[in-house]
Chains A and B, each alone.
Chain A
Amino acid sequence: MTETLIAIIGLPFCVALIALVVPLRWVGVLALLAPTGVFALAVPFWPEVAEGSARIVPIGGLPGLFSLNLRVDQLGIFFVLLTAGIGLATVQYARGYFGSKSSRLFWSALLAFMGAMIGLALADSLILLFVFWEVTTITSFLLIGMHFDEEASQRGAIQSFLVTGAGGLALLAGIALIGGRAGTFDLSALAAQKETILADPMHRIGLVLMLLGALTKSAQFPFHFWLPGAMAAPTPVSAFLHSAAMVKAGIVLIGRLLPVFGQSELWLPILASVGLATYVITGWLALRATDLKELLAFSTAGFLGLITAFYGYAGRESSAAEFLHILNHATYKAALFFLVGWLDKASGTRDLGLLESQRWWSRSRPAAVLFGIGTLAMAGLPMTLGFMSKEEFYEIVMGGKYERLTPALVAVIVGSSLMVAYSLKVFIGVFFGSHVPSAEKGVPPEKRSSWLLIVPGILLSVQVVGGLAPHWLLSEVLSPGHEWPSSPAIWHYVDELLVISLVSYAAGLVLFLGWHVARRMPDVPGPKRAAETLSKGTIIVSDWWTRVAQEGGHPRYLSVILLTFVAAGAAGLGHGRGSLADLIGPWGPESFVGLIPSLMILTAAVFLLVLRRRISKLIMLTVAGYGTVVVYMIYQAPDLALTQILTEAVALILLLLIFRQLPDLGPDPRSIRQKVVHGTVSVLVGLTLAGLTWGAASQSPSDRAGAEHLRLSESETLGENVVNVILTDFRALDTLGEIVVLALAALGVVVLYRAKRRSNRTQRTSAQEGGS
């Protein structure tokens, strides 16, 4: 069981790695292996989980902090199968679409993306879920920005990354808040104690933060603007991104949070209002769009709004229709994207205005039929799965109350009519344009892979089967454990739901005719501008920050490092226990003796500032160092004294060798302002160090940690010198880290030396060439 699950998650990642190294012509075939394998491994789970069983599979993690548990339940396995199924279709389609012009990076990123989506669906631990969540963000960034020499591609990738990345941060904050207060990051454990969580008013902040993550990922209003930008991706990627992955990650998260937060008083209002607003607004934007992919992108955001709203209502009354909605959307939207990809290949354009003059009905009947089924499903007409999905949605929104015209009902009807309108626009615009065919620009038919039509055909067959035999699909396959309220059938008698459907069809037709006559639609300003401002602003801020923090001079770098140290040290001091009075302890064994090395260090420090020769400064530094050695002697720390003596000596010689390379220090070139700034930084660092030293020194050695070390060093390690026992036994890992740093520093010296030698050599050769 555990092994199977790990294989399901690991397989796509493994194939993604292999895809980076094998010859390109094998990669496409190899890529088929991942979704096929995942599908075959996951299918046996389905009958069991479809009955409603759910199991937690412990994986481990960091004991006491968080687990990395997986879970096997209907939602998870459903998404695994969906991702693998659509993934298989995408891979096969992409092989036909790209032909020999694909790249290893594409396949690798696509498969890793698939793996992350699968891991996300199976995670029970929120920590694990978050990790996979971020992997989808990163891989989708790579996929959208695949054509990295095109500006639109870059902009789309950056926008989607900024929006979903920011959402990811909100999600992380929410997870930390909820998990930290509940003491567990496991969704199953959280669901078990949901009463306690909901009783805590703080859960609202955590819930809002987590939903922010989900809504940005699912491109919900007001974050819907990134989705059309992501259209710059190659069409197979768009199809995958919009149907089964990425945007559905937000839906998975909402579905996972439902058992925990479904009863929260914020759940329904947030999800229903955001979802329905998205449904209406993106419907309007889709009706305006002329690029077919852009239209489908808005339509995706719209349907996801419908699913989001559905989950909002699902907190009020349970419903098994979630799988129906998701399956419906995944099949028809992936198929439509695939068909648009075919059309793009065939005609050389995705612009509706141009396509209208080409009248594709007379050129390719199969494509027209497939497009017809896809748009029927999008519009939610009978005989398709889309119809079932819409009806179930109306039902849960109404909750059995049809007599009043609620805002939600109005929104649903308006959104659905818009969907009908733009479905008509797509179908009629592409296939029944008004003009004679113009010159063909696309790829000739014999060069188009027939898979470009076969793959969407297979996907749409699910729509047709679901539309013709809904009872079989829903009650036998999708949710056998669930009683469907109104027995789903092709045709049912006139009821309120059908009335809503008919009203939306009629309104959609009117809207379409209106658009057809007017040809122009008022713009909805805002989102696009917001998106551009966001990406521009981010770049300006990061430019500024880079200039501030990394101007290229040592003083600035040192100041940044030292001030960070001051901040960290001050934070540490602020957290300390005890008052200042506790800190003022005795000065040492004999305060008078302690004065001598102190004077030595102070004098050296003053001279260090005053003297103007490098060598003199270095010697003063060493004097101060040996002053410290005297302090160690007085306070009986022979280990430290020995180390300090040797370090000072070695450092002195090495620095002298380096200083031979440096020019003499002239008069101080710094302005008064620079001097003041540098002085302030120095004083702050000094104060912090003094504070830290004092804080550490005022801890009695018989404190708990100190006493434990003393006790354990004798019994556990047979060592008598506790200082060295700490270094090599208790803290051996720290010591290992230190020597690694030392080794890296030495390698750095070698690398710099070689670089300098090489540049000297090239200078010399170029000088010789110039001379000869």
Chain B
Amino acid sequence: MNSLIFREVTRAVYPAAIVFAIHLLIRGHDEPGGGFVAGLVLTMAVMLETLAFGAGAARRRYRLMLRPALGIGLAIALGSGLVPMIWGHPPFTFSQVKYTLPGDNELKLSGTLAFDVGVVLVIIGSMGTALVVMIGLKPTRTVP
């Protein structure tokens, strides 16, 4: 798609989408959001990029990111579930800690965040892989 406006908008939206995705990921445990949604937002960012700058640019940019993200994401999700077994808990028993910071702020750390990071990586990895493959196919208009 060769449109100047679309490209410039994409340039602006892309970083914002990534920040928004991280925001969704972190707040997911308490408010609407979470790994799945964050992954989809990231996918949308990649899609914008691909549509605006073309398949070749996208492939060059993401070649070494998307498919590894699949494996790494699965490993993180599975690993985060296995870690609690070290302390003798059943798998996928995540523990949490909550600190009260000065100024009435709270900091919550949870094992589920690691799991969610894995989910994000798998979503962006799988959707992005499919996207890059499909956008590379040349349109065929022949009726069989």
Contact = CB atoms under 8 A, between A and B. Distances in A.
A247 to B, nearest CB: 43
Contacts of B43: 646, 650
Given A660-B139, A718-B108, A728-B35, A736 B28 contact: no
A721 B35 contact: no
A216 to B, nearest CB: 41
Interface in A216-241: none
Given A657-B134, A660-B137, A739-B122, A732 B81 contact: yes
Nearest to B78: A736
B30 interface: yes
Contact of B81 (A650, A736, A746): A736
Contact of B94 (A654, A729, A733): A729
A727 interface: yes
Interface in B91-144: 91-92, 94, 96, 98, 108, 110, 112, 115-116, 118-119, 122-123, 125-127, 129-131, 133-137, 139-144
Interface in A617-671: 638-639, 642-643, 646-647, 649-650, 653-654, 657-658, 660-661, 663-664, 666
Contacts of A728: 28-29, 34-35, 94, 112, 115-116, 119
Contacts of A643: 36-37, 40
Given A717-B112, A732-B115, A739 B77 contact: yes
Given A749-B133, A750-B133, A717 B110 contact: yes
A718 B96 CA distance: 7
Given A663-B143, A728-B112, A736-B78, A654 B130 contact: yes
A198 B93 CA distance: 45
A462 B135 CA distance: 76
A723 B37 CA distance: 12
A745 interface: yes
B6 to A, nearest CB: 14
Given A653-B47, A657-B134, A660-B139, A742 B29 contact: no
Given A642-B37, A720-B31, A753-B133, A743 B94 contact: no
A742 B39 CA distance: 12
Interface residues of B, number: 55
A248 B21 CA distance: 64
Given A638-B32, A649-B44, A728-B115, A746 B129 contact: yes
Contacts of B98: 718
B141 A663 contact: yes
Interface string A293-325: 000000000000000000000000000000000
B61 to A, nearest CB: 18
A422 to B, nearest CB: 62
Nearest to A742: B126
A735 interface: yes
Contacts of A729: 92, 94, 112
Given A650-B44, A654-B134, A727-B36, A735 B144 contact: no
A740 interface: yes
Interface residues on A, range: 35 or more
B110 A721 contact: no
Contacts of A745: 126, 130
A725 interface: yes
A753 to B, nearest CB: 5
Interface in A698-738: 717-721, 723-725, 727-729, 732-733, 735-736
A654 B131 contact: yes
B35 A646 contact: no
B30 A721 contact: yes
A532 to B, nearest CB: 45
Contact of B134 (A638, A642, A658, A727): A658
B52 interface: no
Contacts of A723: 34
A638 to B, nearest CB: 4
A167 B10 CA distance: 66
A743 B139 contact: no
A643 B41 CA distance: 10
A308 to B, nearest CB: 47
Interface in B31-86: 31-37, 40-41, 43-44, 47, 51, 67, 70-71, 73-74, 77-78, 81
A719 B29 contact: yes
A745 B125 CA distance: 11
Interface of A is mostly: helix
A744 to B, nearest CB: 9
B74 A732 contact: no
Nearest to A640: B32
Contacts of A650: 40, 43-44, 47, 127
B134 A739 contact: no
B37 A746 contact: no
| Residue in A649, A739, A743, A750 whose Cβ sees the most chain B Cβ within 10 Å | A739
| Residue in B34, B35, B41 whose Cβ sees the most chain A Cβ within 10 Å | B34
B44 A724 contact: no
A720 to B, nearest CB: 4
Contacts of B133: 749-750, 753
B16 to A, nearest CB: 15
Given A727-B36, A736-B78, A746-B129, A721 B144 contact: no
Contacts of A719: 29-30, 110, 112
Contacts of B78: 736
Nearest to B70: A743
B134 A646 contact: no
A715 B77 CA distance: 23
A724 B125 CA distance: 21
B126 A746 contact: yes
Contact of B34 (A657, A663, A664, A724): A724
Contact of A721 (B29, B73, B92, B96): B29
B48 to A, nearest CB: 10
Interface of B: 28-37, 40-41, 43-44, 47, 51, 67, 70-71, 73-74, 77-78, 81, 91-92, 94, 96, 98, 108, 110, 112, 115-116, 118-119, 122-123, 125-127, 129-131, 133-137, 139-144
Interface of A: 638-639, 642-643, 646-647, 649-650, 653-654, 657-658, 660-661, 663-664, 666, 717-721, 723-725, 727-729, 732-733, 735-736, 739-740, 742-743, 745-747, 749-750, 753
4 closest A-B pairs by beta carbon, nearest first, are: A746-B126, A646-B40, A720-B30, A660-B139
29 contacts: A639-B32, A643-B37, A646-B44, A650-B44, A657-B134, A657-B135, A657-B137, A663-B141, A717-B29, A718-B29, A718-B96, A720-B31, A721-B29, A721-B30, A721-B33, A724-B29, A728-B35, A728-B112, A729-B112, A732-B92, A733-B81, A736-B81, A743-B73, A743-B125, A746-B70, A747-B129, A749-B129, A749-B130, A750-B67
Given A650-B44, A721-B30, A728-B34, 12 more contacts: A638-B32, A646-B44, A649-B44, A664-B143, A718-B98, A728-B112, A728-B119, A739-B73, A739-B74, A746-B129, A749-B130, A753-B136
